[in-house]
Amino acid sequence: MPNNTNDQRRIELGTRKDKQTVVIARTLSDVTNLVTPGTFVLFVKEACEKDSMLMVSEAIRRGAIGILFEKTGRLDHGIVAASELGVPITSLNKNIEQLDTGELYKGVRKLLSEIKNIADSAPAEENFIPTVHPVKINLGFPITLSKFPALSKLVDGVAFARLEFVITEIIKGEHPLAYISRTSERKFISLLAEQLTIIAKEFSGKPVWFRTDDFCANQLLTLIGGKEREVFEANEYLGWRGIRRSLDQPSWITLQFLAIKELVDKGFDNIGIFPPMTSSVEEYLQWIKLAEKAGLNSKIVKFGIMVETPACALTFEDFTPHLSFVVFGTNDLTQFTLAIDRSNPRLENKFIENSKAVLALMKRVITICKENNIETTVGGQAGFNVDFIKELLGYGLTGTSVTPRPATIQKFKKLFQEYEKNN
């Protein structure tokens, strides 16, 4: 790509009246050193090989208004983070060496159009639409509430608040354990509780379910202090993450539980908690024991589970005595059932959430939940696929969780309203 600035990592596009700056990011340090408010960021392929969530969220925190990828899968966590934060994304599907400035500017113009669409996407009707089947939202960044102030008025609660998203806003590019070592456990707990309180308070009287963190080694390797604490994994999705990491690092997960306990101590009675990547009831019960040691129990919080492994779905009867709700992680459940890398663009057309195998696992869990009066919600990207949700409603799904946009919420509220009218 030709360069028209003194720094080949910054590209100036457009006319003097319509000048746009694109930062080319290969590493987290590129993001921290080069991204300024109002810029676009192009993440090259190698930047996304370790999952782009931390780099994308940091770029947005520093003021990026649009994200471009050389190539990436639609389920990369960076795309999920940008979607929650209301920042548009596009994939150029071309290596940077083959990309000319005209093609890059075309991608930027597309993002500018999407920025306008997001601004104009507020629904004409901003009144709460009552439905039997709840429509909740995915919410990992409290700042989203200031971007879309109508959210809490429109939805039935928060079904999927990823703690790793919240934590990235605290650690600001530093490995969590390095951050705690430099500051203190008390400061981390206090800051995390402060952020979680924003969400719990905004949705007071409605369920708010927090999922404990799902950081993986390759994400954390990119952070300050990461190389001293992490080992690269060839397949991060199958690696040291989720509940297995929490059980190996009980002091780390305990800090998250203690932050949530502070919310309970403030009087919030709308809290639920659940772990990621659970495969067996034995590890789930160990996780609950750690929560109880931190002062949380089923009398003051609801315990749930994210069903995202076939092992969990196939042994789900073992879990039912211990939980009140289920959130389906359809992205990973599909990945592990079909043996398809969710972040590989080459396999995107084969990544089918409504395949017979995935639907069979979900139907099994939903049926058991119906028999045990356990609430079921879809929390992955499939949660806002209309045809997919319609099929699951037929199995007995109780609700869904969608991206935090007013227009999307009202779309599903009306879908459920129509379904309930005809069934």
Give phi and psi for 41, each to the nearest 5.
-125, 130
Residues 6+ away with beta carbon under 8 Å from 120? none
Distance CA 275, CA 71 (A): 30
Identity of the amino acid at 303: F
Separation CA 85–CA 139 (nearest Å): 9
Q: What does the alpha-carbon distance between residue 253 and residue 212 come to, in Å, rounded to a whole number?
A: 8
The C-alpha atoms of residue 58 and residue 41 are separated, in whole angstroms, by 11
Q: Which positions ≥6 away from 127 have C-beta within 8 Å?
A: 153
Is 322 designated active site?
A: no
Catalytic option among 77, 133, 175, 322: 77
The whole-angstrom separation of Cα 304 and Cα 327 is: 8
CB 193 within 8 A of CB 142: no
Buried b (16+ CB within 10 A) or exposed e, 377-414: bbbbbbbbbeebbeebbebebbbbbbbbbbbbbbebbe
Strand partners, 43: 25, 69
Helix 185-202 to helix 250-265 angle (10° resolution) is 50
Backbone angles phi, psi at 24, to 5 degrees: -95, 115
Alpha helices by DSSP H, listed for 62-150, are: 77-84, 101-119, 144-147
| Catalytic residue numbers, as ranges | 77
